[in-house]
Amino acid sequence: EVQLVESGGGLVKPGGSLRLSCAASGFTFSSYSMNWVRQAPGKGLEWVSSISSSSSYIYYADSVKGRFTISRDNAKNSLYLQMNSLRAEDTAVYYCARGTTVVTPADYWGQGTLVTVSS
Amino acid sequence: SYVLTQPPSVSVAPGQTARITCGGNNIGSKSVHWYQQKPGQAPVLVVYDDSDRPSGIPERFSGSNSGNTATLTISRVEAGDEADYYCQVWDSSSDHQVFGGGTKLTVL
């Protein structure tokens, strides 16, 4: 069974940093692209970042480029999102999601981790 | 950047057919994917590549895509179909995934 479990969310002050993790199991992690998608309270889905299976291709939404860094450790079956210079508008539930490639849809999603940016 | 436009809400009676649209410039040239999200839950992929269904998704869910509009059609709507629905494409000109704003389906 495919499982994606996010962790690392919490309350952080504006300008602060946070690192999210996503632990994957039930599939060959190194064969799949991975994505981060967020959802602000009461709002729609917003794509954040994608990384190819070997980390050769990495893409970011304009709203986070230069502040967030996506990475993965295939030996640990883990996906990460380093978030720096956080703003109030980054407050959201952050989902990790699996894709076959960076251009294909996300067929499995984790349950999400809440990030709250507030003073 | 590429924009996908969805109606904020669609209402339908049980047993009827719901159609949710997703508008975008020449969207017919792209592969469109649809997600269902129920309150407090993660999204679930219900249609991919315009009209294909993942395993486990009922045949009542179907999709089409032509010109400037893609459509998710839900036949014989049930109370359990009440949810938010999002369309998504890959925009190759910007190397961005793009989501529509979402449509809340209400079953009357």
In this prediction, residue B104 carries a pLDDT of 98
Band of the pLDDT at B54, cuts 50, 70, 90?
Answer: very high
Question: Burial, A62: exposed, middle or buried (Cβ in 10 Å; 0-12, 13-18, 19+)?
Answer: exposed
Percent of chain A whose predicted confidence (pLDDT) is above 70: 100
In this prediction, residue B13 carries a pLDDT of 97
B-chain CB neighbours of A35 within 8 Å are: 97
In this prediction, residue B52 carries a pLDDT of 97
In this prediction, residue A77 carries a pLDDT of 98
Mean pLDDT taken over chain B: 97
Give the chain A residue whose CA is nearest to the CA of B84.
A44
Residue keyed to tokens 């339908």: B12
Band of the pLDDT at A89, cuts 50, 70, 90?
Answer: very high
Transcribe chain B into DSSP letters.
Answer: ----B--SEEEE-TTS-EEEEEE-TTGGGS--EEEEE-TTS--EEEEBTTTB--TTS-TTEEEEEETTEEEEEE-S--GGG-EEEEEEEEETTTTEEEE---EEEEE-
In this prediction, residue A97 carries a pLDDT of 98
Over residues A44-59, mean pLDDT: 97
Over residues A9-34, mean pLDDT: 98
B-chain CB neighbours of A62 within 8 Å are: 1, 96
Express each pLDDT in B31-46 by its tens digit.
999 999 999 999 999 9
Band of the pLDDT at B91, cuts 50, 70, 90?
Answer: very high
Residue A7: helix, strand or coil by DSSP?
strand
Question: Burial, B40: exposed, middle or buried (Cβ in 10 Å; 0-12, 13-18, 19+)?
Answer: exposed
Residue keyed to tokens 């000109």: B93
| AA letter at A24 | A
Band of the pLDDT at B73, cuts 50, 70, 90?
Answer: very high
Best interface-test mutation with B: which of A36, A39, A114 has the largest number of B CBs within 10 A? A39
